[in-house]
């Protein structure tokens, strides 16, 4: 699928230089950069966070209220 993105001139020049050095097109460099970004941020999805609080003895609301009480003391 094609998409249009706006890049700064300095970014275009840097991609051009990297592409020449490693023998890849600008499009391939951008695809790889997007893939790396998505892999890095995948761990922050809700699916990975679901159920993390289950190991705690007190429920989340009780914990939150205790923390907020500290602010008022």
What pLDDT shows up at residue 71?
85
Quick check: is 34 in a domain? yes
Place of tokens 């790889």: 32
Quick check: is 3 in a domain? no
Statement: residue 47 has pLDDT above 70: no
Quick check: is 72 in a domain? no
Q: How far apart are CA 18 and CA 11, in angstroms?
A: 10
Q: How many domains does the chain have?
A: 1
- Segment 42-55 shows an average pLDDT of 68
Quick check: is 27 in a domain? yes
Tally of residues, the chain: 73
What pLDDT shows up at residue 53?
73
Give the pair of three-digit tokens for residue 31: 């695809």
What pLDDT shows up at residue 69?
86
Quick check: is 68 in a domain? no
Q: How far apart are CA 64 and CA 35, in angstroms?
A: 36
Q: Where are the alpha helices (DSSP H) in 1-73?
A: 9-22, 26-42, 46-49, 60-72
Minimum mean pLDDT range among 21-25, 42-46, 58-62, 65-69: 42-46
Quick check: is 67 in a domain? no
What is the span of the domain harbouring residue 39?
8-48
The answer, as to whether pTM is greater than 0.85, is no
């Amino acid at each position: 699928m094609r998409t249009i993105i706006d890049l700064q001139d300095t970014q275009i020049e840097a991609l051009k230089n990297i592409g020449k050095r490693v023998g890849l097109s600008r499009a391939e460099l951008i695809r790889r950069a997007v893939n790396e970004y998505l892999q890095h941020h995948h761990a922050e999805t809700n699916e990975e966070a679901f159920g993390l609080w289950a190991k705690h003895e007190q429920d989340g609301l009780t914990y939150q209220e205790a923390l907020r009480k500290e602010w008022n003391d």
